[in-house]
Chains A and B, each alone.
Chain A
Amino acid sequence: MDSKSLAYLSNNFIYSALAVFAIAFLLHAVETAWSVKSGEKRELDRSRTEKLARSATGLIILGNLIVAAALITRGASASRIPVANMYEFSITGAFIFTTAYLIALKKYNLRWLGILVAGLTLLTLGTAITLLYVESAPLVPALKSPWLLIHVATAIISGGIFLLANSLAAAFLVLEKMERNGVRSSWAHRLPSLDALDQLTYRLIALVFPIWTFSIIAGAIWAEAAWGRYWGWDPKETWAFITWVAYAAYLHARVTAGWKGRKAAWLCLIAGSTFLFNYVYVNIWGTGKHTYSGL
């Protein structure tokens, strides 16, 4: 197959994945609604929705495999790894995010998070193919380096895990508010305890912090080779640094100041929003040397 038809095939994979994730999202929504038994006691009956939840997870796995196929064909169409522009970064990021969720699902009871995961993946892929899409093309000379894989791949992995940690922190805040005003709504009964959410968020941040640090260092080494300086306060670098500082503050606050729960969750969300800002604002409207979005 030539490069055009491979890129075309990749796009079709993305459209298919969108459909699969949309169905997974719907199944999860139905499952969440149905698990609440009507009547006086408003108890949860998970037995009748177990099958639905399992098939939703199955669809997320399927969707993720299709996204993987899209990544492989997209990469093959330009003979390189598919992380050279914002479109490719977004679909790779969505893949990592969903994969991180599926791995975590094996260890923790996180099926309840599926609705959020399916929704966010749907949103990311949809934004990518409609707003961020650019034609598949070879690399510009500055990007021709083995560091592209190392630097960008670790940045994407970080992004995926940041997103997962922030989903948990957001869930924590919603549930915490609910509990402060009384009891949890019935749909939220099956969600983990606040303490478990808080712990898991912290674990994820502790896991991702060294990866993010590595990504920044790898970027600095690459920048030295390509642009002659390892750090230049380019807008993207500046915001990567701000995200790093914010998560460093989160870890300090957790470990040494003993901040847990609400304050820590807010800090996590603030730090996460600096990552998002970097991704959206600096790529599309910003200036500097990191503007590869092609938009």
Chain B
Amino acid sequence: MNGKQREKIEKDRTKSLKELGGFSLWRYLWRLLTSMRTALILLMLVGVASIPGSIIPQRSQNPFEVSDFFDRNPAISPWLDRFYFFDVFGSPWFSSIYVLLFISLIGCVIPRLNEYLRAIFEKPSPPPQSLQLMKGFQSFDSDSIGADKVLILSWLKKKGFRTAEFDGSITAEKGYLKESGNLIFHFAMIFILIGIAVSSIFGMRGDSIVNVGERFQNTPTSYDSMIPGRFYSVESLQPFQIKVDSFLAEYDPLTNQALNYELEVRVREELDSSEEEKVVRVNEPLTFGATRVFLQATGYSPQVTVRDGAGEVTFKGAVAFLPQDPNLTSAGAIKVPDMEPPIGFVGSFIPTAARDEVRGAFSSYPEVLDPRLLLAVWQGDLGMDDGKPQSIYRLDIENMERIGLKALRLGESYDFKVGSITFDGYLPWVNLQIIHDPGKKIALFGGLFALIGALGMLFIHRRRIWIRFSEENSVQLIDVAGFSSSNEELLLRELREFQEFLTLKKGES
């Protein structure tokens, strides 16, 4: 289908809209939505609508920056929030453009598929009346030409043209794959959109912090956080197990930049299957069907022992702290509700201790070379009994009182009168990100087919050659001309070749 034909169809469409009766409002809307112009406008709108999502911080990407933005722009932020500007890609207005584009695309492509299927089985149509007005027109008399109709037809066939004979004329057509490419491309786009929808509806993503030496069991309670899709069922979690054996992190001693992370694990696919040893790296996740486990972040869990005034152990274990900077200065909280009164510690773990005037104590290197555990001891109500959800990394100090402050080296203890705490050691932890994404294969195939389609649609060109035989004053005449909507240069080159063939034949005979 060329541009003019398509334009005509568009015109016919809008014309017939006026003739429709009242009950056909829906048909009117359908036609309006599925017109090429609307599809184009919607395509542009998706582009424009995604701009705010790249300039205003998004909750889905960085919730801290969103709250930061709220603090800096208190007047306008609530309004932006009301119109979903912090969740652009999940907002009703973005989704509605996306859905409309999806429908419009289907409405555009299906009629074209029908037309294409019809055209592919049809013979090319007869040449227009006045070939003189068409591209590359030339007229030859039979004296200068040796080729007859049969030879011409076989030459055209050899060149890959599809030919049709009419009374005294031939139409030859080539480049049908252009429209195939075009349709493949647009269907592939629909597949990508379906893949994205499947991912977000049936998918799941969750995080779990696991200390080296510990085991991760894929059950809901093992997760620190989980975002399931609307139709994701927790029962469908695959029962795999990951035992974290060792974690290696290498850093560049000059720039402190991370060079390599390597996580050695033992994996069980099912509860009763045998253990397998595997290595996880940043670009090499573990795969369990459509679920993959990624190595996402790392930090340290200081190990402590807390004793009460009588010397009884009230807490012993490793507590994960969250990194605050690239050198892994980490912050966290240790809560000991089993003491009377309850005790809490606000802590900083510093892998390689350094100190300056401005920052106080900080870490100068992400590996553990000279560790310190800085602790503030708080006594009072930990606020854990009132049922409110609490961060495990923070101490709610509202009803508490500070009773001590200390920096500990490895192995040192601090006696804070009502008890004591010992800095026993530390464990590295890794953040495993578990992602179930059933739509990604659909999207991937969509992407690959989009590419194949794009190549066909942009590099194959549809062109026609028309030949008419006539007689004037008992001289045989052959008129030749052609048409191509996308590449005239190519058409003219082929017409020249054809002309050479005609005259060459004469020379030979």
Contact = CB atoms under 8 A, between A and B. Distances in A.
Partners in one complex: yes
B51 A144 contact: no
A210 B454 contact: yes
Interface string B192-211: 00001000000001000000
Given A229-B435, A287-B65, A145 B53 contact: no
Contacts of B447: 217, 220
A242 B44 CA distance: 8
Given A226-B283, A230-B440, A231-B196, A252 B451 contact: no
Contacts of A206: 458-459
Contact of A241 (B50, B261, B437): B50
A138 interface: yes
Interface stretch (A66-74, A109-117, A232-240): A232-240
Nearest to B39: A252
Contacts of B459: 206
A282 B55 CA distance: 9
A286 interface: yes
A251 B186 CA distance: 14
B450 A258 contact: no
Contacts of A249: 40, 43-44, 47
Nearest to A252: B40
Interface in B249-265: 252, 255, 257-261
B399 interface: no
Contacts of A209: 454, 458
Given A231-B196, A233-B89, A248-B43, A226 B282 contact: yes
Interface in B458-485: 458-459, 485
B261 A141 contact: yes
Contacts of B7: 258
A233 B36 contact: no
Contacts, number: 130
Contacts of A258: 3, 7
Interface centre among A210, A246, A255 (most CB of B within 10 A): A210
Interface string A32-58: 000000000000000000000000000
A284 interface: no
B95 to A, nearest CB: 13
Contacts of A226: 282-283
A210 B458 contact: yes
A241 B47 contact: yes
Nearest to B444: A221
B299 to A, nearest CB: 15
A256 B178 CA distance: 14
Given A228-B433, A288-B61, A210 B451 contact: yes
B444 to A, nearest CB: 7
A23 to B, nearest CB: 36
Nearest to A236: B54
Contacts of A230: 437, 440, 443-444
Contacts of B413: none
A237 to B, nearest CB: 9
Interface string A138-161: 101110110100000000000000
B202 to A, nearest CB: 14
B258 A245 contact: no
A210 B452 CA distance: 9
Interface in B270-307: 281-285, 292, 294, 296
A234 B443 contact: no
Given A137-B252, A258-B3, A238 B458 contact: no
A233 B95 CA distance: 14
B59 to A, nearest CB: 11
B260 A141 contact: yes
Interface string B1-38: 00100110000000000000000000000000000110
A118 B440 CA distance: 44
Interface in A238-295: 238-239, 241-242, 245-246, 248-249, 251-253, 255-258, 282, 286-288
A242 B47 contact: yes
Nearest to A220: B447
A242 B51 contact: yes
Contacts of B44: 245-246, 249
A138 B256 CA distance: 11
A135 B53 CA distance: 32
B46 interface: yes
B60 interface: yes
Interface in A208-225: 209-210, 213-214, 217, 220-222, 224-225
Contacts of B296: 228
A231 to B, nearest CB: 7
Nearest to A248: B43
Nearest to A285: B55
B54 A141 contact: no
Given A140-B258, A141-B258, A238 B282 contact: no
B384 interface: no
A288 B440 CA distance: 22
A225 B62 contact: no
B347 to A, nearest CB: 28
A137 B433 contact: no
Contact of A210 (B53, B89, B455, B489): B455
A206 B65 CA distance: 39
Nearest to B254: A137
A207 to B, nearest CB: 8
B322 to A, nearest CB: 19
Interface string B225-252: 0000000000000000000000000001
Interface in B82-108: 88-89
B138 interface: no
Contact of A256 (B36, B53, B57): B36
A135 B448 CA distance: 37
14 contacts: A138-B259, A140-B259, A217-B450, A228-B285, A228-B433, A230-B440, A233-B53, A235-B55, A238-B51, A242-B50, A246-B47, A248-B43, A249-B44, A256-B6
CB-based closest 5 A-B pairs: A245-B47, A238-B54, A235-B54, A217-B447, A141-B282
Interface of B: 3, 6-7, 36-37, 40, 43-44, 46-47, 50-51, 53-55, 57-58, 60-62, 65, 88-89, 196, 205, 252, 255, 257-261, 281-285, 292, 294, 296, 433, 435, 437, 440, 443-444, 447-448, 450-451, 454-455, 458-459, 485-486, 489
